[in-house]
A and B are shown apart, each in its own frame.
Chain A
């Protein structure tokens, strides 16, 4: 009896497999008519596949929400959002799915810079334009993507360094008295590279004591852990340069837990914390209280900008390859009202709005 059952099973299996193959090859033939039918049905709805790298920080969430509210059906768009959970492999899978679904445009916020050549090549073969958001990709062929929207991270870093410079000069600290630690973002991300470079160059030019650069992975927990370790290693830290707000919140926690005070009064032994992004509510509150002395904004609201680019592509125009968003500098300390980078002056704003 058992053998009969087994035979039946194998038979069923093979039939199923053949049926599976058959159905898919049959579908292939009808594929063309199917897709044209689809586009007719969809009418004017433009389908955009958005592969977001994750939801690791408040900045990222704000970025996602901005995209979601820019591409709504009422405005004629259909956004398919996919969260890559910080993994490139998930994002590649997502893009491949978009290609199979025949979306009209792909928006990609890549988690890392390398390793995109083959999948972006597939997208081009399928005739789907790719718009990059936030971080960039490192591909041999720059025509693999249409354009990029994001922040000038190095400029953010340089603005922050310029602020540190003018503030410490104002309170009469000598460059050699500045003992800085840098809690970096996820190593290899565009934001980390730019912000680290901005600080490192300034430190070299001004003769600051940049004692350590450790990654805090853009998260509060890691920021706390790294800061606690740094406080044990060095007892003369007076400036903490956090590459995002979440790290700053963690670092402030660690500093306070170690019984030290955060603030801008370095001369009185306070540890000054500066950070980036300016999206997190808690961080903005900290900045109001003076716990974070200065925040360089990193504008997450890419949605409208990306939509404008998509519209340009729809019209058949060629947008600029690199598009920067405008960003500000916030501080509750009134001493410094503007900073200069490369001769361009940037105003420093209060945190009341």
Chain B
């Protein structure tokens, strides 16, 4: 008896952000441990987790950007397109125009910045629905990618390939192959970039005035206005950050795949939205946590890996599992909101 009352008191004390975050983290660990128990083999090795991180560093970065936009009550579905456009432009610049690494990084940031300025302006200052703006942005990015170059190709610039194959050894972790060779666990540069971004923006969101204004605008525009927050500027900034992050993610993605293709990052926007939602960001705005988003991405990708390792034809099954997860989390959110409203009324 006592235990349940204690439990309920914990639940009422926790705010939405923490509650949703805890659900996400618990689910991630449950899933990973489940995978270790039921599938064994690869999941017991640390490199399996690092491979997931390596392959999805770009998704982590875009999801973080999306979470910020969603916290302010907006949405941006152009991120996947921007990633594809950035990787194609950088690939063409490096491979066909003989460009330098520094130059390609500036291209990536430039595309992100440009996207952020235009989309942010249209959404914040012209009051156009973010979905429509970023829908057009996605169309434009995808179309431009094919206009820049149609056929996919691998970049063979030696400097770039060296950077792409750079591995950062994780100390103290590794595994023995059947030949008895010790292979240390490693991550790619993109993972470090992604983790730094997550931590940095987590701090910004939690402990700065700007960060709090994102929550305030997403939570209640009216009261945000009364608090003296510049709503338009805040919205503009959220889109700017998101698009710049998409630009960075584009470069990280490019660094991982090392090629330009019009079909790169297809559907990444949907995975990013799903990750944010699973990570506890509320679509209605005002609620969200970037650590949660990180775990959202990890949960999503772990599910994909589990499905793939199970030998199912992943092309079809991942779609269904992600959708099912998304559905469950959306309903949880909806229920939480209803409960909260009831509590407020009561």
Contacts and interface: CB of A to CB of B under 8 A. Distances in A.
Interface of A: 1-2, 4-6, 8-9, 12-13, 16, 19-21, 23-25, 27-28, 30-32, 34-35, 38, 55, 79-83, 85-89, 93-94, 96-97, 100-102, 112, 114-115, 118, 125-127, 187-188, 215
A19 to B, nearest CB: 8
A341 to B, nearest CB: 29
Given A13-B25, A20-B29, A215-B151, A83 B55 contact: no
A34 B25 contact: no
A54 to B, nearest CB: 8
Contacts of B175: 28, 31
Contacts of A31: 44-45, 175-176
B313 A83 contact: yes
Given A24-B46, A86-B263, A115-B258, A127 B179 contact: yes
Given A5-B15, A9-B18, A13-B291, 17 more contacts: A12-B22, A12-B25, A20-B29, A24-B173, A25-B172, A27-B46, A28-B46, A34-B40, A83-B314, A86-B263, A89-B257, A93-B55, A97-B309, A118-B165, A125-B183, A126-B179, A127-B177
B334 interface: no
A28 B151 contact: no
A187 B257 CA distance: 18
Contacts of B220: none
Given A5-B14, A16-B29, A87-B263, A102 B178 contact: yes
Q: Which of B165, B256, B258, B305 has the most CB of A within 10 A?
A: B258
A42 to B, nearest CB: 10
Contacts of A126: 177-179, 183
Contacts of B257: 88-89
State which size class the interface on B falls in: 35 or more
B25 A88 contact: no
B344 interface: no
A26 B121 CA distance: 51
13 contacts: A5-B15, A13-B25, A21-B173, A23-B33, A24-B45, A27-B45, A88-B154, A89-B256, A89-B259, A97-B308, A102-B41, A118-B165, A188-B153
B305 A97 contact: yes
Contacts of A4: 13
B22 A114 contact: no
B333 to A, nearest CB: 18
Contacts of A16: 25, 29
B181 A125 contact: yes
B296 to A, nearest CB: 14
A125 B45 contact: no
Contacts of B45: 24, 27-28, 31, 100
Nearest to A34: B44
A38 B40 CA distance: 9
Contacts, number: 125
A27 B44 contact: yes
B313 A100 contact: no
A101 B291 contact: no
A83 to B, nearest CB: 4
A118 B175 CA distance: 18
A88 B291 CA distance: 30
Nearest to A39: B178
A113 to B, nearest CB: 9
A144 to B, nearest CB: 15
Interface in B236-275: 256-259, 261, 263-264
Contacts of A6: 18
B311 A24 contact: no
B51 A100 contact: yes
B315 interface: yes
Interface string B291-329: 100000000000001001101011100000000000000
Q: Which of B44, B55, B264 has the most CB of A within 10 A?
A: B44
B13 A100 contact: no
Given A25-B173, A94-B308, A101 B41 contact: yes
B79 interface: no
B48 interface: yes
B110 interface: no
Interface string B177-192: 1110101000000000
B49 interface: yes
Interface string B137-149: 0000000000000
A87 B261 contact: yes
Contacts of A88: 154, 257, 259
B82 interface: no
A81 B51 CA distance: 19
Contact of B21 (A9, A34, A85, A188): A9
Contact of A35 (B22, B152, B174, B178): B178
Q: Which of B13, B46, B156, B258 has the most CB of A within 10 A?
A: B46
B46 A25 contact: yes
A24 B49 contact: yes
B42 interface: yes
Nearest to A80: B311
B62 to A, nearest CB: 16
Nearest to A31: B175
A1 B13 contact: yes
A101 B48 CA distance: 9
A186 to B, nearest CB: 8
A102 to B, nearest CB: 6
Contact of A101 (B15, B42, B259, B264): B42
Given A94-B308, A101-B42, A27 B178 contact: no
A36 to B, nearest CB: 9
Contacts of A21: 173
B133 interface: no
B22 A28 contact: no
Nearest to B28: A16
Nearest to B12: A1
A27 B36 contact: yes
A215 B146 CA distance: 14
Interface in B162-210: 165, 172-179, 181, 183
Contacts of A79: 311
Contacts of A188: 151-153
Q: Which of B33, B36, B174, B308 has the most CB of A within 10 A?
A: B308
